[in-house]
Structure 1
């Protein structure tokens, strides 16, 4: 009577192991990327909803479905650290970016020019490249909390007015200061929120996207 029981237990264990293996491989599907293109209207992204929709559209075009995407953008009333899920997050090549919100906002995160890939798995030009596109819109402090007056009108402005805080995806700036190396809070835009203003400091209206679920 024991043999069938042992056989059943073995089959169940094997099935569980297989399921765990699949789950682990699925967990490494892309859950973080830099937008390959922006809105084309500077920091006017259609608000947070428009930015989130842009993330989802790019991810789906790249073949990644079934995830809820949120742009890494704070607003005047919302901290981005509270809207991107719990992690972990992986880039298009399955490389881990961070385990959780705390590690993402610490020196332990894996964001660099080599890992901050687009949804297509491509690198983005950084400092020293032509054109430089390393400025990422965030509206955030290093800890992922909001800078209420540096969100280009909650991501609805594209003219000479307004300011947006940005980070450097390549962790490189004019010097070796913490701000210059910050991926999410390096410096504010200059000359407004237009596409031209963002390009003027080394940007292109790009931003980070995270799978919240």
Structure 2
């Protein structure tokens, strides 16, 4: 005789497992299609990201962990002309678009739209895990994004540091920051800029981890898939 009291629990367990797997698959598929995210955590060394190469590698590592490592990822960062090397524009190193967040929402169809009427805001500037980043009014505020860029995505000219010495300094210097939630104090006319809200500052010189935290940041930055 078949023991039905043993079969029924096994069937229920199998159905439950199948439902859990089915529920997980769409989320993974969306993440695999992701082509834009905010780093969920910073490197932790202030404005010293190991240069552009270090920042790009960090984007790639986070994307890989999230299931989107099949793409090539670059950090949205500019560098300034120095030591005989030309400036690098953030807008020129992130591919052509379109770019989607971890939920599949298109934040911009191309470079021109990204630097004009993009869809970046607190609800769409998600991490690689699909999480919302704390913004203005939250505790702690983490909306400051390292960019080193002007509103049009180009590098700054002149001698004033806006890239923490091309992302190699964790003490002296300054970095231009954007607001991922496009929000901030009304007294700041550029508070709604996603990529050029204000430069970093602080008692350690402007580029330490504590300096970045003091104005509402955590050393986070944007990552874009170039392909």
TM class by shorter-chain length? 0.7 to 0.9
CA–CA distance in 2 between the matches of 1:38 and 1:52? 13
Structure 1 residue corresponding to 2:125, chosen from 116, 122, 134: 116
Shift of residue 173, structure 1, vs aligned partner: 1.0
Q: Kindly provide the CA deviation profile for residues 128-161 of structure 1, in whole angstroms up to 9, marking residues without a partner as x.
A: 11000000000000000012520001001001x1
CA–CA distance in 2 between the matches of 1:155 and 1:212? 20
CA–CA distance in 1 between the matches of 2:111 and 2:187? 25
TM-score (norm 1): 0.85
Structure 2: state its 5+ residue gaps.
Answer: 1-28, 81-86
Name the residue aligned to 2:48: 44
How large is the RMSD of aligned CA atoms in angstroms?
A: 1.6
Structure 1: state its 5+ residue gaps.
Answer: 1-24
Mapping of residues 162-201 of structure 1, within 5 Å:
162-175=173-186, 178-191=189-202, 192-201=206-215
Q: Would you say 1:34 and 2:38 are equivalent positions?
A: yes
CA–CA distance in 1 between the matches of 2:63 and 2:198? 28
CA–CA distance in 2 between the matches of 1:180 and 1:65? 33
> Residues 102 and 177 of structure 1: is their aligned pair in 2 closer, same or farther, counting only changes over 3 Å?
farther
Aligned length: 187
Q: Kindly provide the CA deviation profile for residues 153-174 of structure 1, in whole angstroms up to 9, marking residues without a partner as x.
A: 1001001x10000000001011
CA–CA distance in 2 between the matches of 1:90 and 1:186? 23
Structure 1 residue corresponding to 2:216, chosen from 202, 208, 213: 202
Which 4+ residue blocks in structure 1 deviate beyond 4 angstroms? Answer: none
TM-score (norm 2): 0.79
Name the residue aligned to 1:16: none
